[in-house]
Amino acid sequence: MIVRSLIAAALIGGMAHPAAAQDTAPPPAATAPQEPSQTPSQEPSREAAPPRPIRNAPSPRALEFAAYIFSAVNVCGYRLNAPEFEALLAKQNTRPEDVSPRGPFGNRVIGIFTLMSNQMNLNREQACLAVAGEYGPEGNVVKNVLLPPGAGEPVPAPGGKPAQP
């Protein structure tokens, strides 16, 4: 009877502490210091990837601005003047890739965009007039960020021969 209890205790002890039953891994081998007489071709490659510059997240104002412009394009049908839009983002130390829907901060912009688009849809006429007054061709904040629909279509170059199909 005592033997059974000893066997049971040994089994339970092994189940309770399985890590104690395993051998520990040997410590990693220390690398020998290199001799100065080695040539560069004999040295192991130690090139690391170049350090990536650390960038801060765009300011909340830049995210809201991008969402506001995207909402105006969506709700009012305006066309986005990309160079002007990029210049405004650059003034806020933000790149267009950061605020694009697939960019690193795209989820935040999409969330703000959804709220703004829904609110603009409630009073579409007033919202579109307000946006055009701020960022349209006669905008009082910045001109020509948003262009009216159909504006800015490609104009043929003067004196140039049109392409033949």
Output the pTM of the full model: 0.59
The Cα–Cα gap between 28 and 25 comes to 9
Q: Tell me how crowded residue 65 is: count the other CB atoms within 10 A of its CB.
A: 23
Q: β-strands 146-147, 79-80: how paired?
A: antiparallel
The Cα–Cα gap between 161 and 79 comes to 28
Report pLDDT digits (tens) over 114-148: 999 999 999 999 999 999 999 999 889 999 999 99
* Position 156 pLDDT exceeds 60: no
Q: Which of 109, 49, 59 is nearest to 88 (CA)?
A: 59
Report pLDDT digits (tens) over 30-74: 665 555 555 555 555 567 777 766 667 889 999 999 999 999 999
Side chain identity at 93, as an amino acid letter?
Answer: N
